[in-house]
Amino acid sequence: MTHRFDPTSLREYDIRGIVGKTLGPDDARAIGRGFATLLRRAGGTRVAVGRDGRASSPGLEASLVEGLKASGVDVVRIGMGPTPMLYYAEATLEVDGGIQITGSHNPSEYNGFKMVFQHRPFFGDDIQTIGKLAAEGDWEEGEGSASDIDIMDDYVGRLFAGYAGGDYRIGWDAGNGAAGPIIEKLVKLLPGEHHLLFTDVDGDFPNHHPDPTEEKNLADLKRLVTKKNLDFGLAFDGDGDRIGAVDGKGRVVWGDQLLSILAVPVLKEAPGSTIIADVKASQMLYDRIAELGGEPLMWKTGHSLIKTKMKETDAPLAGEMSGHIFFAQDYYGFDDAMFAAVQLIRALHVAGKSLTELRDAMPQLVNTPEMRFQVDESRKFDIVQEVLDRLEGSDAEVNRTDGARVKTADGWWLLRASNTQDVLVARAESHSQEGLDRLVAQIDDQLARSGVQRGAQAGH
């Protein structure tokens, strides 16, 4: 028996598609067969499986489990919950891998699979291998078993373990995503006063799209914080691995700004450590890490790439602009928005200042949101290379870690190819609006010289 995946579903960091169009039960079964085959060939026998709150998740889970068992792997189902709960299960139960069925922060018609293989991220070539095994029908045969375990209370207990924060008034917006039940349990343990929004799990996301990196999705949380005069508010994406925040004035505190606050207690405990951020992060963050005595490291965007680099450099903390924050100090090295929330409360307590005061003290920089330009898939990496070639020999300082990050007297701009879509991603940051305008003009000029027009800007 063989199976062919829709080519758009096998992506860099996960497998994802539109249910009924590019993703269905046969795909889930083939993923189970392929993953189990690779695991058995590496000496593994058991896999933890979790799912998010989308309507299509239970059906995809059933087919996935069928596939895993048919290739001789035993399955431990942990039920519905956020992706970090699956990562926690994979790190603490006697299993050799884990698969979460989730569409992450995508619209409700999407779903997908995030995987961990023997405690390491499963991405890139690993995912392509699943496709190859399916096309060849090269699957192990066997008869695995399936059992259920309720890990939610253990996970919430672990989030709260060693809690050392203060007494705050906090708003929490779960966006009807899979983190809702965890947040309901967690706030019962936390001191202070807690106001919850949309913690009931609903895969149609009736209140707002569950992506806290888009400011419009934080409108309800901002209203709650300002109306009730709360200290700050926290928001979570659809599968609970990305965090968003607003301060007491309702201003967004972005991923790199949160990381600059979280770095303080981490570097107190582990002076001189490496702290990693992706190429989209503000220069302010890298400067702040250095100022705190840490070793700032700029790395490629993508949660699997960051996790891999953390292991390599023994970094206790890492983060992305997109709100993925990874903790290896007294934790397991994965991205967990609920753990990030607890650590943020601790960091504020250690600082002895409110989130609003810390936000006020940050350098006043002007930056663009993430700009995305639709380009032909076959051209996206070539365009970035053309830009790098043209910058060769100019007086600008160019970092090539992930695309082109160009530092000038005005600040910096970035142009990189998305690993998951047919878009180029750009960002710029300066100390002044005039400086920012000049940087954006440089991006426009470089794009135009490679035949990309400003009008090609894609919706986020």
CA-nearest of 225, 231, 217 to 175 is 217
Q: Do the beta carbons of residue 103 and residue 2 sit within 8 Å?
A: no
What are the DSSP calls for 161-229, one per residue? TT------EEEEE-TTSTTHHHHHHHHHHSSSEEEEES-S--TT-SSS-S-TTSGGGGHHHHHHHHHTT
432 in catalytic set: no
Question: How, if at all, do strands 243-247 and 274-278 pair?
Answer: unpaired
Query: How many residues are there in the chain?
Result: 460
Selecting among 104, 108, 304, 430, the annotated active-site residue is 104
Q: Which of 339, 370, 61 is nearest to 179 (CA)?
A: 339
**Which tokens sit at 331?**
């934790």
Residue 6: φ, ψ to 5°: -65, 125
DSSP secondary structure letters along 345-360: HHHHHHHTS-HHHHHH
Take residue 18 and report the two structure tokens written for it. 């539109």
Pinpoint the alpha helices (H) of 193-328. 219-227, 255-269, 283-291, 303-313
Residue 321 per-residue DSSP state = T
In degrees and rounded to multiples of 5, residue 397 shows phi and psi of: -90, 120
Contacts of 118 (CB under 8 A, 6+ apart): 39, 42, 44, 96, 97
How far apart (Å, rounded) are the C-alpha atoms in residues 255 and 351? 18
Nearest to 87 by CA among 304, 243, 251, 268: 304
Tokens representing 452? 């990309």
DSSP string of 90-105? HHHSS-SEEEEE--TT
Closest CA to 299 of 190, 401, 159, 182: 401
Q: Residue 103's closest CA among 163, 43, 175, 41?
A: 175
Q: How far apart are the C-alpha atoms of 318 and 273, rounded to whole Å? A: 11
Known catalytic residues? 104
